[in-house]
Amino acid sequence: MRLKLTILMALITAVSSGLIAAEPAFVISSIRQKAMGGAGVAIVKDESAVYVNPAAISEIGFKFNLLRIRADLNQDAIDKFSDLTTLSSSFGSDKDQTEQLTKINSLIPARFGVNLAGMGPSFGLFGFFIAGGAEAHAIAELVRPTSPTLKASILADGQYGIGHDFQVNLFGQDMMVGGAVKTVMRYRTYDASDGGLEFSMGTGKLLDAMNSGDGQGVEFDTATGSGVGFDLGFKSKMATFLGDTSAAVVFNNIGTTITGTKTVSGNESVFSATIPMTTTLGLGFSQDLFLLGSTSFAVDYKIQPDSTLFKSVYMGFEKTLWLFTLRGGLYQGYPTVGLGMDLLWIFHGNYAYYTEETGGEAGSAPLSYHLVELGLHF
């Protein structure tokens, strides 16, 4: 049963031809950032500040977040949902294998993505904020029509941290400095035969997994690691030609290493992985727009390993209209849109649409996602 649920989750999920080949950066994102093109380290103003930029914690003031839950589903999975449902209904049955192969072939090429994210109880007061959150990314690709093959990987990150910020004066300029210490946990599947970070199943193994209760011949396992990390942020407000401007610099995952155990070819071993540090430079400012009036804008530049200029620039805008907040931007060169709603200042809902470039070159492997988030906060 565990095997079938894992295979189904991988099929109905995730991402690209560029499956995970190395440890990715560890950052829990907010749906507000996604809707604003991935930008916002200079204008973050909610509980995600403890992860996004701890130098903005004081701006949150008193806040208690009870729960936030978010689901992301990529466009390919939505378009082929009925086919996936039909395929999954054959799991564990005695259906003719020719019919099953026909249904699998109808999905190829297929690149699916589903992410789940959540933030548990969090609390902020007097420049301190305590928060915990998690994100899970399941990734899968069906290839080779003549010999259907599934490549898949599942990655889940969790962290719980405490952050604090304070004001300093450098060279006559007031600046907020904030830091956050966090415990981090990473869970992922891998190929138990060689320790690779993705597992694959050829036609025979795929059919066996669909029809066999014990998943005979499928070789994959899981690894879990944990460690301690640190984030450091700076934020300052100044007058520029753009008007009142906020500038920020954030360092995420400083000295973050996770350790754990996994079994490869029957042998248990200890593994250690360094989570790459990322540096983000951000600007935030407001401009008066025709009909909309004062509107907030943000531009970020993220310095990270093996990233091109195209994949490092993020920009977006936000405008609040009574109970609703309109958002939009450019995420790695692709347009994003979003809508937020706060009802009675307690119930909170957000929607976002964005496209992520998963290939090495612009336009080579884009994936578009729809995100929905619901939450309760005070």
Q: Looking at residue 183, what is its pLDDT?
A: 94
Task: Please give the backbone phi and psi of residue 95, each rounded to the nearest 5 degrees, phi first.
Answer: -60, 150
Please classify residue 96 by burial: count the beta carbons closer than 10 Å to its beta carbon, then call 0-12 exposed, 13-18 middle and 19+ buried. Answer: exposed
What does each C-alpha distance from 265 to 72, 154, 269, 363 come to in angstroms?
A: 34, 20, 10, 38
Residues with Cβ within 8 Å of 85's Cβ and at least 6 positions away in sequence, in order, are none
Q: Looking at residue 15, what is its pLDDT?
A: 31
pTM for the model: 0.82
Domain 2-377: which CATH number of 2.40.128, 1.20.58, 1.10.1060, 1.10.1740: 2.40.128
Q: Does residue 94 carry a pLDDT above 70?
A: no
Q: Does residue 6 carry a pLDDT above 50?
A: no
Residue 362: pLDDT band (50, 70, 90) is low
Amino acid making up residue 161? G
Residue 20: pLDDT band (50, 70, 90) is very low
pLDDT digits (tens, 9 = 90+) for 101-157: 777 777 787 788 888 898 888 888 888 999 888 998 887 888 888 788 888 888 899
Q: Tokens for 247?
A: 């500038």
pLDDT digits (tens, 9 = 90+) for 225-262: 999 999 999 999 988 888 889 999 999 999 999 999 87
Q: Looking at residue 41, what is its pLDDT?
A: 95
Better-predicted residue by pLDDT, 329 or 211: 329
d(CA 298, CA 314): 8
Q: Looking at residue 325, what is its pLDDT?
A: 94
Average pLDDT over residues 177-187: 93
Q: Does residue 344 carry a pLDDT above 90?
A: no
Q: What end-to-end distance do the CA atoms of the chain give, in Å?
A: 40
Return the closest-CA partner of residue 35 out of 246, 331, 283: 331
What does each C-alpha distance from 5 to 106, 179, 245, 268, 270 come to in angstroms?
A: 21, 39, 49, 25, 27
